[in-house]
Amino acid sequence: MVIGIVENLYSSYDFTNKALKSFSDWLILIFINLMAVAGALLIFCGVFGMIISALSAYNLPTMTSNSMVLGDPISSSMTSAFAMAGIFSMVFIGLGIILALIFGILLTGVQIRAYRGGELTLGSYGGMFLDGLLATIISFIYFIPYIIISILLNFGPMMNPAYVIASMIIEIVVMIVTMLFYLMAVIRFAKVQKFSAAFELKEILNVISTIGWLTYIVNIIVVGIVILVIYLILALIPVVGWGLLIVVMPFLIIWEARFFGALYESATATKEIEPASP
């Protein structure tokens, strides 16, 4: 029998409590999460800086006095300043990509261990990074069809409102289906510990069918709502709330991963004990 939502919520909570019983482990996860967030912020700041620098450089002639010409000391200093700002923006983007990739992959590796079940330990960071890297590659491969479809749809008559609406609907449907398959695929990879297991579509479809498509979607919606409510409550608390969100985020990451890992396990266990057809 597939595990119920409420039962799974409680059991996943207990699993996460045990996994983070060590204060040092929690601090490590907070640090990893902070570095991943810092990487994303650096990328955002870098892109924003590049846009501002480009716009400012483009408008440079109109920003100087009519009596000044391009090449005078003031104009030259402003040009140099915009160039330096552009260089710093590129450095921010590069550093942000490095941080986001390294620590984002490590966080994904933590999720893989939570999907796998058993006692969650944070040792063997090389193995954890490799798991996260393989899961990231699996994610990219699964989303290739969505990317291709999105690109092809953009070549259509975009001035036609009906076509635009239809394209959006198609993209949303493809995105949802991809996410539904990808989630169970990456959990299967974590369980079987084989890269190819993530692409055994028949087995993945059997797991989803055993859970039930509607039940599966409801599970995702419920978990999403719970996490969203927690995020919103903490985000509404000035200063302290953001600090608490940073502290709580590792707990939520593991809890969510274990929830879907347990859902997968209950589906495969149900499939195994089903009586054979006469």
Q: What are the pLDDT digits (tens) for 18-54? A: 888 878 888 888 898 889 888 888 888 888 877 776 6
- What's the confidence (pLDDT) of residue 277? 42
Task: Please say whether the beta carbons of 33 and 248 come within 8 A.
Answer: no
Task: Please say whether the beta carbons of 241 and 177 come within 8 A.
Answer: no
Which are the contacts of 23, defined by CB distance < 8 A and separation ≥ 6? none
N-to-C CA span, the chain = 21
- What's the confidence (pLDDT) of residue 58? 59
Which are the contacts of 112, defined by CB distance < 8 A and separation ≥ 6? 128, 131, 132, 135, 186, 189, 190, 257
- Buried residues in 91-112 as b, exposed as e (16+ CB within 10 A): ebbeebeebbebbbbbbbbbbb
Flag whether 128 is in a domain.
yes
According to DSSP, residue 76 is labeled H
- What's the confidence (pLDDT) of residue 88? 76
- What's the confidence (pLDDT) of residue 70? 46
Residue 208 has a CB neighbour count (10 Å cut-off) of 19
SS3 62: helix
- What's the confidence (pLDDT) of residue 56? 64
The total number of structural domains in the chain stands at 1
Range of the domain at 151: 5-270
- What's the confidence (pLDDT) of residue 235? 84
Task: Please say whether the beta carbons of 60 and 75 come within 8 A.
Answer: yes
Flag whether 92 is in a domain.
yes
Flag whether 250 is in a domain.
yes
Flag whether 278 is in a domain.
no
| Whole-prediction pTM | 0.82
Flag whether 277 is in a domain.
no
Flag whether 151 is in a domain.
yes
Flag whether 275 is in a domain.
no
Helix axes 161-192, 144-153, angle to 10 degrees: 170
Residue whose C-alpha is closest to residue 10's, from 226, 205, 216:
226
User: What is the full DSSP assignment across 106-175?
Assistant: HHHHHHHHHHH-S------HHHHHHHHHHHHHHHHHHTHHHHHHHHHHTTS-TT-HHHHHHHHHHHHHHH
- What's the confidence (pLDDT) of residue 194? 92
d(CA 145, CA 140) in angstroms, rounded, equals: 10
- What's the confidence (pLDDT) of residue 80? 62
- What's the confidence (pLDDT) of residue 83? 63
Listed as ranges, residues in the chain with pLDDT below 70 are 53-85, 270-278
- What's the confidence (pLDDT) of residue 74? 53
- Give me the torsion for CA of 22, 23, 25, 27, rounded to 10°: 170
Flag whether 226 is in a domain.
yes
- What's the confidence (pLDDT) of residue 243? 83
